[in-house]
Amino acid sequence: MAGGWARDGAVQDQIDSTVEAAVERARASLPTGSSRRECEECGDTIPEARRQAIPGVRLCVSCQHELDAKASQSAGYNRRGSKDSQLR
């Protein structure tokens, strides 16, 4: 049930669009090409199991974890949609 001038289902359409955009962004960040034997960041050997599980892997587990932690801190999305959250 939409309110105001929005049509019914508009909120769900917006949620679906947000999820689709997030999936697209995640897919775009997946590595491609051949896997590296050594980590780009620290130079440690990347285990064979990781190279087979993730084609195109470029980072060891610990460096990938650090990169993911940094990326999650700066998501850049206003999830609440209120004015006070936009001012932060």
* Mean pLDDT (the chain, rounded): 82
Distance CA(17)–CA(27), nearest Å, equals 15
What distance in Å separates the CA atoms of residue 44 and residue 46, rounded to the nearest whole number?
A: 6
What are the E-state strand segments in 21-61? none
- Per DSSP, the chain holds a count of helices (H) and strands (E) of 4, 0
More confident residue, 7 or 4: 7
Largest CA distance in the chain: 58
Delimit the domains of the chain by residue range.
32-72
Model confidence pLDDT, tens digit, residues 49-88: 999 998 899 999 999 999 988 877 765 555 555 555 555 5
pLDDT at 20: 93
The answer to whether the beta carbons of residues 3 and 27 sit under 8 Å apart is no
What does pTM read for this prediction?
0.55
Mean predicted confidence (pLDDT) in 6-32: 86
